[in-house]
Chains A and B, each alone.
Chain A
């Protein structure tokens, strides 16, 4: 469980860091002819959040009231 908590904490730090992405150069490039680079990056981020939350609910979140 301790290892899982460390992974959880590291994942959270990485995700918060990904939101504070002030180092990225602004570019008006369109992927697939329509998807702005800015949105593509953010959609990838949301996908990472879904994976992270699946990890949290399966591993870190212990049901404590026997439900």
Chain B
């Protein structure tokens, strides 16, 4: 039992730190729903960047990607990083920036509410809320399951996955409910520093343990030289590669929890700084995790569950105390996403489901209801996590494809004045219908990912239906876009 002491101490210290941050943010967040859900729209460069980067990083990167690199090699880096280093920042500019301006003008506090108010359409708000929720629940699931898996491994099997998952959810819910967006953004600074610090340390310590970088890579080349190249077949075949690039570049702006962070930015200058910093941080995170997975293929071949490679490598090639640090790093990555998802979904439940039907709600009640919704969501996710089993990568990929089909509405709604509410609703439904048809075997995607066809359908339907329906009144457009804005 004494070998659990470092783990318990590390987790205890981490839990105290995030709860203290949550408590510190409580008073400011209780002032108004805008303070609670969006930190008063006041996030500046450093906190905004860490909030976005932390929210964007989850077990998919820290656990799923090393597992994939363990099997497929360094190609996993080229499959993902270059295109997200380009695509994510560009969508922050192209979609996030005008969406933030609209949210401010319209007084919207949630991603769905921006578009519901832009079109003055309660139905669109509900449709977007439903679509965001459908894809966010499985994404939360993979985060929670990843945390349970990691705690089981870190404790040598003595902490069951169900207990680990429950603990992580409860902790994230606690500080999120206390301090809202401000607490989650501040904790993301700590969490980002933790997981980034860990993977960079792991990179140097593991390579040193393997005899240095040249020896580590030479061992991989001797074991299986195909791990050092990309052969464009199978998962990396041109159509799969190009459609995955499209999906992963576009999907992040479709995460409602990312859009919430973006609309909480204080000004455009902060957003601009984030756009340039993003590719650098992505590389600093992804390069080590991919190489750890590849080195694992040579150092610990034959793992039954490649999802375990990060921890197996930590146990074999780093001092014992890093086992606990690795767990806290993954915990930090999980919770930095989970808190944002809990807050954003609860904000949509309040602003896009309850408020349009219940009428005006007192600010204090709105915050209280947001907290209750967050608790109910956490309970639902926990129940799902116990029964839905799939690999972390597969769960994430399905969610990514779902989010991706929402991007045409988010982009056109922020940039194209001629888009109508009917066009937007039809676009969301068409994208989801195409995905459902492909996944159920209704048609052959011909080597492309289903999201590729879903995206085409969503764009085509948005344009066709909008042009066939009456445009919005100029006064409504000016309310959303402002006088003379070019969008």
Give A contacts to B, CB under 8 Å: 12, 15-16, 18-20, 22, 26-28, 30, 33-39, 41-43, 45-46, 49-50, 52-54, 56-57, 61-65, 67
Contacts and interface: CB of A to CB of B under 8 A. Distances in A.
15 contacts: A19-B245, A28-B229, A30-B218, A33-B214, A34-B217, A36-B229, A41-B78, A43-B283, A45-B82, A49-B89, A61-B97, A61-B268, A63-B269, A64-B482, A67-B268
B77 A39 contact: yes
Interface stretch (B126-134, B158-166, B271-279): B271-279
B287 interface: yes
Given A53-B276, A56-B275, A57-B275, A27 B229 contact: yes
Given A30-B214, A33-B213, A64-B485, A49 B82 contact: yes
Contacts of A38: 74-75, 77-78, 228-230
B272 A34 contact: no
Contacts of A61: 93, 97, 268, 272
A23 to B, nearest CB: 10
Contact of A20 (B242, B267, B287): B242
Contacts, number: 114
A57 to B, nearest CB: 4
A34 B217 CA distance: 6
B382 interface: no
A39 B486 CA distance: 40
B221 interface: yes
Contacts of A36: 74, 217, 228-229
Most buried by B among A12, A33, A53, A65: A53
B193 interface: no
Contact of B238 (A15, A22, A65): A22
Contact of A39 (B74, B86, B238, B242): B74
A42 B77 CA distance: 8
Contacts of B276: 50, 53-54, 57
B88 to A, nearest CB: 10
Nearest to A64: B485
Contacts of A39: 74, 77-78, 287
Contact of A46 (B85, B101, B230, B272): B85
Most buried by B among A37, A39, A52, A63: A39
B86 A26 contact: no
Contact of A57 (B93, B217, B225, B230): B93
B335 interface: no
A64 B11 CA distance: 45
A49 B279 CA distance: 7
Contacts of B228: 28, 30, 36-38
- Chain B contact-residue range equals 35 or more
A49 B85 contact: yes
Interface string B210-223: 00111011100100
A20 B82 contact: no
Contacts of B486: 62, 64
A53 B269 contact: no
Contacts of B475: none
B424 interface: no
Contacts of A49: 82, 85-86, 89, 279
Given A33-B214, A53-B279, A20 B86 contact: no
B90 interface: yes
A50 B101 contact: no
B231 interface: yes
B83 interface: yes
Top 3 A-B pairs ranked by shortest CB distance? A26-B229, A34-B213, A67-B267
B458 interface: no
B81 A65 contact: no
Given A34-B213, A37-B229, A39-B77, 11 more contacts: A28-B221, A28-B228, A30-B228, A36-B74, A38-B230, A45-B85, A53-B90, A53-B278, A61-B93, A65-B482, A67-B269
B316 interface: no
B232 interface: yes
Contacts of B230: 26, 38
B241 interface: yes
Contacts of A45: 82, 85
Contacts of B485: 64
A41 B229 CA distance: 11
A18 B82 contact: yes
A65 to B, nearest CB: 6
